[in-house]
Chains A and B, each alone.
Chain A
Amino acid sequence: MKIRNFLLIACFPITAVFGEMRTYISKDGSKTFRGELIEYESSTKKAKMRIARGKVLTFSIDVLSKEDQKYVEEQGPIVQAKKSLSVETKHYSKRTEKNKPAQGQWHFEKYDHNYIVTVENKRDEMLKDVTVEYIFFVERNRREYQNKIEKISGSDTIDLVLSNGTETITTKSANLESWSDNPVMPSGGGGG
């Protein structure tokens, strides 16, 4: 049986989820301000925030309340990931089966489809524990399935994405079929 490979590149845009504007409280509780965390450097404990009228400040998180310090330390890796990660997908298709129908049988072909998802870290710092969740859908069109939509989903966690590096995951495969509408008929004569 001949097996053919196809590669279809399907790159699609990614929608970024933006940072949250929230109220921060000073260490002694005497002052508050509204700010959006833009960047946090855990080694120096320095946060960069956008405050009122778009002004950007960089300061040590020691000036914030304990609760806000905890929030910044938790959100820092998320903010960093939002800015530095990008994703690209490639779609692969491979024919796995093709029959040679005898009289009275139907033609069919079967293909395995899957995707390779590439995650790129564009910053000079590595990122840990990046989870890739994926879902893809197949419409089953044989008469007995009546256009039923099948969902294929999964997830994979990348332990480490090195600075300025890429990592890939491979999704599960879906098997797609195509069938001719009529069986092979005798070309002439009575057959049998």
Chain B
Amino acid sequence: MVKGAKSKYRDKLLGLVVHLKVNGEIIKTGASNDKVLALSEETE
């Protein structure tokens, strides 16, 4: 950030969800946090 400048608008990275699939079936799921897992379920 620029010295002396206050960051007012900062985009935020909320996290990642990963699914591993074999033969079309999800075999493992991982998420960086519960919020992002819930978000991914809402949008699927």
**A77 contacts B22, CB within 8 Å?**
yes
**B20 contacts A74, CB within 8 Å?**
no
Contacts of B31 in A (CB 8 A): 12
Given contacts A101-B2, A179-B8, list 10 more A-B pairs with CB under 8 A: A15-B28, A77-B23, A78-B27, A127-B22, A131-B22, A136-B13, A136-B17, A141-B12, A179-B7, A181-B9
Total interface residues in chain A, CB < 8 Å: 52
Query: Taking beta carbons and an 8 Å cutoff, which residues of A are in contact with B?
Result: 10, 12-17, 74, 77-78, 81-82, 85-87, 89, 91, 98, 101, 107, 109, 113, 115, 117, 119, 127, 129-143, 149, 151, 171, 174, 176-182
Specify which of A16, A101, A129, A178 lies most central, judged by the most chain B CB atoms within 10 Å of its CB.
A178
**B10 contacts A134, CB within 8 Å?**
no
For the residues of A in contact with B, the DSSP-based class is strand
Binary interface profile of B, 19-35, with partner A (CB < 8 Å = 1, else 0)?
11111011111111100
> What 9 A-B pairs are tightest by C-beta distance, nearest first?
A181-B8, A180-B5, A176-B11, A131-B21, A14-B30, A137-B14, A178-B10, A107-B2, A81-B22
In the complex formed, the residue of B with least CB distance to A181 is B8
**B13 contacts A132, CB within 8 Å?**
no
Total interface residues in chain B, CB < 8 Å: 34
Q: A176-B13, A180-B5, A181-B6 are in contact. Are A78 and B20 (CB under 8 A)?
A: no
Give the tally of cross-chain contacts (CB within 8 A). 141
Cα A61 to Cα B16 with chains together (Å): 40
Specify which of B2, B18, B43 lies most central, judged by the most chain A CB atoms within 10 Å of its CB.
B18
Cα A139 to Cα B11 with chains together (Å): 6
- A177: contacting residue among B5, B11, B16, B17, CB under 8 A: B11
In the complex formed, the residue of A with least CB distance to B40 is A135
In the complex formed, the residue of A with least CB distance to B35 is A137
Cα A127 to Cα B28 with chains together (Å): 15
Q: A107-B5, A143-B9, A181-B9 are in contact. Are A17 and B23 (CB under 8 A)?
A: no
- B18: contacting residue among A91, A109, A133, CB under 8 A: A133
**A132 contacts B18, CB within 8 Å?**
yes
